[in-house]
Chain A
Amino acid sequence: MLQLVLSGTAMGAIYALVALGFVLLYNATNLINFAQGEIVALGAYLCVFGAAALGLPYFGTLAAAIGAMAVLAPLLFALAYFPLRNRSLLAGVVGTIGIGITLKNLFLVVAGPLPKTLPVFLGGGQVELGGASLPLQAVIVIAVAALVFAAHFFFTHHTFTGIRLRAAAQDREMAQLVGVRVNAMMGIAFVASCVIATVAGFLVAPIVFVSPEMGLPLMLKAFIAIVVGGFGSIPGALAGGLFVGVLDTMTAAYVSSTYRDVFTFLVFILVITLRPTGFFGERVSLRV
């Protein structure tokens, strides 16, 4: 039981990170980013490339991938996301789906269809924890994810840029009036979202295969996490991610492993219809 909860938590921590990246961008631009999964995949590919081609050590891979993403993300923002910012809901959805399709097939062209793996450097061992034994990889996942959430909290509450970021997300016009450069804030939010996605890709790469197809399932799980936690809420992304991870593992163990995704989606539809605001949702559930 404890074993299941712990391994569910590790998977959930990854979903929570994917969800955090999504929510950051949503709050800043109101875009439902259907390409979030592919951006995570891009991060994972960068890690695989760093490890295989450059022979970097474990955390060195992550640092290099974040560096590369910090160069790529502003480009992607300027070319693809910025022009979508004030479009209708439909155009935003379809546009980001287009970005996702582009990225996915670029992976296919550049890296080929065969799945790649990120070697497990330190994660080979097991850690004993209160009667349950957990792979070291899972412990790293939980620790790094916790660190990212803490860093995000610190950034948005204790730095000037972070506070301006929150102001722009809360009320765009008001923020503009007091001198916040709203468009620049959108860019910063997007780059932050991509960096978090890279961390998620780095953590998930040793667990699932890195392939062009890896994005969609991650994105779907993150969507469920976001809705369960409450759309647009950051504590919600964390709580929802962990909830989905644990629910997933529990269903697979006790109900049915074939139907575990069906079960998770049913819970999702139940939440969306009975309590669309989730655990800690937007105050306005219906935006007219």
Chain B
Amino acid sequence: MVLSEINRRRWNLFKANRKGYVSLWVFIALFAFSLCAELVANDRPIVVSYRGSLLLPIFHSYTEKDTLEGGQFESEIDFADPWVAGEINAHGWMVWPMIPYRYDTINYRVPRAPSAPDSNNWLGTDDQGRDVLARVIYGFRISILFALLLTLSSSVIGIFMGAIQGYFGGRTDLLLQRFIEIWQGMPVLYLLIILASIVEPNFWWLLALMLLFSWMSLVDLVRAEFLRARNFDYVRAAKALGVKEPTIIWRHVLPNALVSVFTFVPFILNGSVTTLTSLDFLGFGLPIGSPSLGELLSQGKNNPQSPWLGITGFLVLSVLLSLLIFIGEAVRDAFDPSKTFSKEADA
């Protein structure tokens, strides 16, 4: 990829902020790690060799009766079952993931849930006997994916609406501004509660509903940038050249407005993580049983005698949010015009 001169300078400025640069790599590593959650924390082995044939239980499901000799059940193989494990190990081998639990695997061997961290459950289990570490890995992934999708789609809508208002101004601007003012007054939480009583709120429902209200955060910013930029001489020059309006917006106005948008994006991402977490905490979020950081926090609150729940939730969230903030600060430095164009500043 070839970076333009300005972008190369921005990248160098970004790198110059060591904290943000390191945070970016840590964040990418954690996110990539959590994307492979199925390979890291799962209640099925990754590879099984049984009587000369190789099985991949992560990608295929095998019924016990058809696969194992002497298998009884028509259902899927439960690899944690002592008889199954004995049978496979006697006629082959299996490779387990680092953590032999999925987010919804209930560990029936713990004497009493929630159980404290030990060699089996590194971060203990929650009050339903599920492994906390596995739930954190899956919950981290779902939080980031939700935040990324919400940020991306609300930015696209926000930029579009802001651009229209700012560029055309006048009546368009007036009407849309009033609409936004009314729309902002909607009680989001009540709508979620009402929704929860009609449908079971899943990932996509939540995303759509949050999107209805989160796109407004960028509108004012983009609108102001466009209001400013539409009177720039180079925009007027493009008009004088006979360039069409959509082209002017796309080529001349938008790229310059995006600079301030980029500065905001990590912080919006942050807000989106917090939004999902607090909904889950209150119980209006993802369906019951989904891995979620907010649910972990609420378990921590309900089980004060099991501090590993609350402490884990707190640490994961604060690390994630701090990383995003540090990245955001570095992005802000990188897009700071007084630094990017410092050649002029020192004249």
A and B bound?
A: no
Task: Report A's interface with B, CB cutoff 8 A.
Answer: none
